[in-house]
Chains A and B, each alone.
Chain A
Amino acid sequence: MAGWQRHEGQIIRLPLENVDTDQLIPARFMSVPRSQGYGPYLMHDLRRDAAGDLLPDFALNRARGSVLFAGRNFGSGSSREAAVYALVDAGFVAVVAPSFGDIFASNAVNNGLLPARLSADQIADLGAGETAQVDLATKTLTVGAVSARYDLDDTWREKLINGWDDIDLTLQHRERIAQYRANRAATPGAWPRAG
């Protein structure tokens, strides 16, 4: 995963609350290998009518963009990382919302997608501009002449900037883990009894 510092891109506004992971990608597409790309499945059913035709007024159908403005509790629901794959594969670099599902947010960071928390009022104050500049170092989001500081865990910011892979980081602590493991093994029940 490549790290990034700054991004400028087109805003897509989706003022819906509780866009859960089942909306982000319906379960029936989750058997697709990642190499085939998940972009086409992003909000597959939400952006279509009952006959399967694209809704012309739905924000995602009107333009392509890389910065998504959404409502509260974005990405609530399941742990399916495919919800993040769909956003990333469709070209999104940042999602801006008042709150996120916990697992969604950590999945996002693990895939280089910024989950930036801004209150509904702050989002409104940014105005109706078409493009946004996102800066990780200063945690600012700028639309036209207006800037806002978004909330983001510092650890997550470091990860996004450096594009760190946790497995590499963790394997540097091999010895500590082995030490812990040896102590843990003495705890009754820590290893399953051979069934």
Chain B
Amino acid sequence: MCIFMEKPSTLLDKLWANHEVMRRQDGTSLMWVDRHLVHEGSHHAFARIDARNLKVAEPALTFGVVDHYAPTRGPAKDADIVRMITTLERNATAHGITLFGLHDPRQGIVHVIGPEQGITLPGLMINCGDSHTSTHGAFGALAFGIGATEVAHVLATQTLWQKKPAAMRITFEGALGHGVTAKDMALGWIAQLGTDGARGHAVEYAGAAVAALSMAGRMTLCNLSIEGGARFGMIAPDDTTFDYVKGRPHAPRGGDWDKAVAAWRSLRSDTSAEFARDVTIDASTIAPTLTWGTSPEQALPIDGILPDPDTLPDGKAEAAQAAYDYMGLTPGFPLAGTPVDQVFLGSCTNGRLEDLRAAAEVLRGRQARVPGLVSPGSAQIKAQAEAEGLDQVFTNAGLDWVASGCSMCVGMNGDLVGRGKRCASSTNRNFRGRQGQGARTHLMSPAMVAAAAVTGRLSDVRDLMPGRA
């Protein structure tokens, strides 16, 4: 019998309390890190601990993967790229860390393989020197990106000093329309609230439209939290989560599995828990959405008209004008119909099997009018897609089917978009130069990328879908 009602808590409260080793007087918590994922970019952090003669504190909780610089077409030739990859291999060996190297069948993008291998589980705290670590929050984990100094700290101590963010909830009520995806939900809320709309907050996504998402969709939604200024995105775990996790290589088995699931079921915000911010969005009003500018908040529904900078709120007019100049677009015109030069399908945002299937559904039996690259999120996804014949759909349409890695999301491996070229992309950042110097990026869902490939223009995928669903 419970006499004293405990204060209702949010999912964030519960996860935070479970990981707090201690709290300083100033309110900063020392947090235990359950999983630490490292990639080639971690070389600064390894150099730091080496300089102090420290070893990795918990090698069994640390996993390395080659992804940012992974070549997608044959062996790497550039000396810098080879050095980045061999440095990670050397560090992994020296510190006894499991490494998913280039030729490992489990290799892939860090935020794709963590879940795929069952390294990512509900209730864990997961960190990685990459801002899209928020992806793992889709499992009801506390997951966020950290900088190199913090990576070194986790390597040396398996802990991290953090101030608890405020809790924010974004509820998507109702159901998504046909042809509308998690990517559109994410671009939609960021366009509405701005790229600093969730700054300082941990976002929990809730509501019927979120519950209806597959794990792939949930990962896409949480992945993009950082583009709205939130370091964390999270979704309470449910049967969809447990079905995904069950049987994964590093997930608990047998009696441990049952115990784990029982504990995971309590990882949800209490009904009357209070959030510092609470936003509700009607999912049925979301259309396929894409960016037109150089910031993720510069996004519109596909049937939208490019806004007149003078009508935008304070401070946004100048940025919009600069974005128009860079993107080679003119206000007052419809966004749909803009010719594209190429397409890219892949990344930790939208490089999962379900994403490839959605794009292939649109491309099947059709020809792409522009060249494009398809890079699966992991080697396992690549193998599965090939078993299903998706690779044939892409290559028959005229697109290049290449190996897994970050590829054209960030261009570190040499997969770049040329200056002034317009790319329809399933990635997460449309920053100036992100995909290459002078590159013009439009972010959208994989199906929308496929529609752009087929028409050679920014197009509404729903027009290509009737009778094909």
Contact call B61/A191, Cβ cutoff below 8 A? yes
CA distance A76 to B228 in the complex (A): 10
Interface string of A165-192 (1 = CB under 8 A from B): 0110111010011001100100111111
* One of A18-26, A59-67, A124-132, A134-142 at the interface: A18-26
A18-B295, A153-B163 are known contacts. Are A27 and B411 too (CB-CB below 8 A)?
yes
Does residue B252 face the partner (Cβ distance < 8 Å to A)?
yes
Interface string of A106-136 (1 = CB under 8 A from B): 1100110000000010000000000000000
B interface residues, tally (CB under 8 Å)? 82
Does residue B35 face the partner (Cβ distance < 8 Å to A)?
yes
Does residue B73 face the partner (Cβ distance < 8 Å to A)?
no
CA distance A79 to B146 in the complex (A): 6
Does residue B147 face the partner (Cβ distance < 8 Å to A)?
yes
**Which residues 7-41 in A have Cβ within 8 Å of B in the complex?**
16-18, 20, 22-23, 26-28, 30-31, 33-34
Contact call B149/A81, Cβ cutoff below 8 A? yes
Q: Which of chain B's residues have a CB closer than 8 A to the CB of A73?
A: 195-196, 229
Does residue A89 face the partner (Cβ distance < 8 Å to B)?
no
CA distance A55 to B82 in the complex (A): 33
A76-B229, A188-B256 are known contacts. Are A107 and B147 too (CB-CB below 8 A)?
yes
CA distance A73 to B41 in the complex (A): 24
Q: Which residue of B lies closest to A18 (CB)?
A: B295
Does residue B304 face the partner (Cβ distance < 8 Å to A)?
no
Q: Which of chain A's residues have a CB closer than 8 A to the CB of B83?
A: 31
Q: Which residue of A lies closest to B258 (CB)?
A: A188
Does residue B432 face the partner (Cβ distance < 8 Å to A)?
yes
A45-B437, A176-B22, A177-B157 are known contacts. Are A20 and B145 too (CB-CB below 8 A)?
no
Does residue A103 face the partner (Cβ distance < 8 Å to B)?
yes
CA distance A180 to B20 in the complex (A): 9
Q: Which of chain B's residues have a CB closer than 8 A to the CB of A171?
A: 156-157
* One of B122-130, B204-212, B282-290, B354-362 at the interface: B122-130
Does residue A84 face the partner (Cβ distance < 8 Å to B)?
yes
Does residue B339 face the partner (Cβ distance < 8 Å to A)?
no
Does residue B121 face the partner (Cβ distance < 8 Å to A)?
yes
Q: How far is the CB of A28 from chain B (nearest CB, A)?
A: 7
Contact call A34/B44, Cβ cutoff below 8 A? yes
CA distance A193 to B196 in the complex (A): 38
Q: Which of chain B's residues have a CB closer than 8 A to the CB of A107?
A: 147-150
A28-B411, A177-B158 are known contacts. Are A167 and B54 too (CB-CB below 8 A)?
yes
Contact call A173/B147, Cβ cutoff below 8 A? no
Contact call B149/A111, Cβ cutoff below 8 A? yes
Contact call B260/A188, Cβ cutoff below 8 A? yes
CA distance A6 to B280 in the complex (A): 45
Q: Which residue of B lies closest to A78 (CB)?
A: B131
Interface on chain A toward B: helix, strand, loop, or mixed SS? loop
Contact call A22/B431, Cβ cutoff below 8 A? yes
Q: Which residue of B lies closest to A166 (CB)?
A: B153
CA distance A185 to B214 in the complex (A): 30
Q: How far is the CB of B101 from chain A (nearest CB, A)?
A: 15
CA distance A153 to B200 in the complex (A): 12
CA distance A14 to B47 in the complex (A): 33
Instruction: Tell which of A27, A72, A189 has the most Cβ of chain B within 10 Å.
Output: A189
CA distance A63 to B147 in the complex (A): 29
CA distance A157 to B121 in the complex (A): 36
Contact call B30/A173, Cβ cutoff below 8 A? yes
Contact call B44/A81, Cβ cutoff below 8 A? yes
A110-B150, A188-B263 are known contacts. Are A102 and B231 too (CB-CB below 8 A)?
yes
Q: Once A and B bind, how many residue pairs between them come within 8 Å at the CB atom?
A: 184
Q: Which residue of A lies closest to B420 (CB)?
A: A50
| CB contact between B21 and one of A28, A31, A177, A190 (< 8 Å): that residue | A177
CA distance A73 to B296 in the complex (A): 13
Q: Which residue of A lies closest to B21 (CB)?
A: A180
A111-B149, A192-B61 are known contacts. Are A79 and B129 too (CB-CB below 8 A)?
yes
Contact call B260/A106, Cβ cutoff below 8 A? no
**Which residues 242-275 in B have Cβ within 8 Å of A in the complex?**
249-253, 256-257, 259-260, 263
Contact call A77/B412, Cβ cutoff below 8 A? no
Q: Which residue of A lies closest to B63 (CB)?
A: A192
CA distance A167 to B53 in the complex (A): 12
A81-B44, A102-B231, A107-B147 are known contacts. Are A189 and B260 too (CB-CB below 8 A)?
yes
**Which residues 127-164 in B have Cβ within 8 Å of A in the complex?**
129-131, 145-150, 152-153, 156-159, 161, 163
Contact call B252/A189, Cβ cutoff below 8 A? yes
Contact call B260/A193, Cβ cutoff below 8 A? no
Q: Which of chain B's residues have a CB closer than 8 A to the CB of A158?
A: 26
Q: Which residue of A lies closest to B48 (CB)?
A: A167
A50-B438, A79-B147, A103-B145 are known contacts. Are A23 and B432 too (CB-CB below 8 A)?
yes
Contact call B249/A195, Cβ cutoff below 8 A? yes
**Which residues 99-122 in B have Cβ within 8 Å of A in the complex?**
117-119, 121-122
Q: Which of chain A's residues have a CB closer than 8 A to the CB of B80?
A: 31
Does residue B84 face the partner (Cβ distance < 8 Å to A)?
yes
Contact call B319/A167, Cβ cutoff below 8 A? no
Contact call B412/A27, Cβ cutoff below 8 A? yes
Contact call A22/B434, Cβ cutoff below 8 A? yes
Q: Which of chain A's residues have a CB closer than 8 A to the CB of B129?
A: 79
CA distance A18 to B259 in the complex (A): 46
Contact sample, A vs B, 21 pairs, CB 8 Å cutoff: A22-B433, A26-B437, A31-B83, A34-B47, A45-B433, A72-B196, A72-B315, A77-B131, A77-B429, A78-B145, A81-B147, A120-B315, A153-B163, A166-B153, A167-B152, A167-B156, A173-B22, A188-B256, A188-B263, A191-B60, A194-B250
Besides A27-B410, A72-B315, A110-B149, 13 more A-B contacts (Cβ < 8 Å) are A17-B316, A17-B319, A31-B412, A33-B43, A50-B438, A78-B429, A81-B147, A102-B229, A154-B26, A184-B34, A189-B260, A193-B252, A193-B253
Tell me the A residues contacting B by CB distance below 8 Å: 16-18, 20, 22-23, 26-28, 30-31, 33-34, 45-46, 50, 71-73, 76-82, 84, 99, 101-103, 106-107, 110-111, 120, 153-155, 158, 166-167, 169-171, 173, 176-177, 180-181, 184, 187-195
